[in-house]
Structure 1
Amino acid sequence: MPRGGARAVSGPAPDPNALRRERKTDAAGWRTLPADGRMGDPPAWPLTEATEREQDVWLDLWEKPQAVMWEELGQVLEVALFVRTLAEAERVDARVDIKKMVRGYLDSLGLSVQGMLRNRWKIAAAAPTAVESVPAPAVRRSSARDRLKVVPSDEGA
């Protein structure tokens, strides 16, 4: 393992809300991805025949917001390799290095929080639904007097 010096992903991840914004790396800006995810059919599976698990993960991944960028950047093969590696890593007897590869794919494809920050991707706020936009009725709080319990006196005893 190398000692000292900078690493490709060393240091804190970029923060879109940072107070200091004059860094050279900020010139690229942040990309906001649609909260609804990518629309349309997924690309054709580029590897040898997919297992049922691989097919399920493939379909799910191409509906995510990050899939908009994968398509734009031509990462179909990288996503397929991630799916295949993930399916292998899920096995009980999976090797540790395979599990580490999955973590690397999660970051590079922006599927982890750290990966989203490093790629400078943000997901847009979801539009409120009709149910969310109706304010809840105000709850009437009881007064201190209402909370007091009346205790009968034993005057007749």
Structure 2
Amino acid sequence: MPSGGKRVRSGPAKDPNSEKSRRLGYTLQSLPNTECRMKPPEWPLEPADDERVRKLEAEKWKWLWKLPQARAWHLPQFKWMIRELALYARLSTACEIAPAPTALTVLLRISDRVGMSAAGLQALGWKIEAEAERKPVDSEFTRRRAKELNRESAAERSPMDETKHVYQRRMSGNG
């Protein structure tokens, strides 16, 4: 067993919202949370022998390429994932027909590698944008309005709001 050194996913996951990540420039690429409309690539594997399995794999393949991640999979630097995605579709179809524990384990590992899980998305540096994440328009008007609201709320506060409550310390021990 090797000792020391960096390992995949060793230690806590990076937090893109932390101060350290900001200093290091670590950010996640946002993928729009909408259906990808680009044409899926050709199926890279040999067709399955069974017609039913072939049809299920084709449906899964079309579904995969409509996901938000498909925008990233179409980029040249991620073309290597096409074959892995086909393996994911094939294995996922096989697990739907006849689940097997070892196949499910392999399926989970592939799903991490291609960005089909939350951990996989983060490992690849992606995040799927939520509607709530859309940033408000930054303009002189919005900045001025924010200052006005801050002044108004400060004027409405009473001196009692500024006092802090002091909690009595509880002693643990004999009850």
Same fold (TM over 0.5): yes
**What amino acid sits opposite 2:66 in the alignment?**
E
TM-superposed deviation, 1:101: 0.9
Are the equivalent residues in 2 in contact too, given 1:30–1:122 (CA < 8 A)? yes
Give the equivalent residue in structure 2 for 1:61.
Answer: 64
TM superposition score normalised by structure 2: 0.61
Match of 2:61, SS? helix
Counterpart-to-counterpart distance in 1, 2:112 and 2:35: 18
Counterpart-to-counterpart distance in 2, 1:14 and 1:38: 27
Counterpart-to-counterpart distance in 2, 1:89 and 1:11: 31
TM-superposed deviation, 1:14: 2.2
Identity %: 33
What number of residue pairs does the alignment pair up?
122
Counterpart-to-counterpart distance in 2, 1:57 and 1:77: 14
Are the equivalent residues in 1 in contact too, given 2:30–2:128 (CA < 8 A)? yes
The runs of 4+ residues in structure 1 deviating greater than 6 Å are none
Give the equivalent residue in structure 1 for 2:98.
Answer: 92
Counterpart-to-counterpart distance in 1, 2:97 and 2:2: 34
Give the equivalent residue in structure 2 for 1:32.
Answer: 30
What is the CA RMSD across the aligned residues, in angstroms? 2.1
Give the equivalent residue in structure 1 for 2:156.
Answer: none
Q: Quick one: which of 117, 126, 137 aligns to 2:122?
A: 117
Q: Which has the higher contact order (CA 8 A, sep 6+)?
A: 1
Structure 2, unaligned runs of 5 or more? 49-53, 133-175
Structure 1, unaligned runs of 5 or more? 128-157
TM superposition score normalised by structure 1: 0.68
**What amino acid sits opposite 1:55 in the alignment?**
A
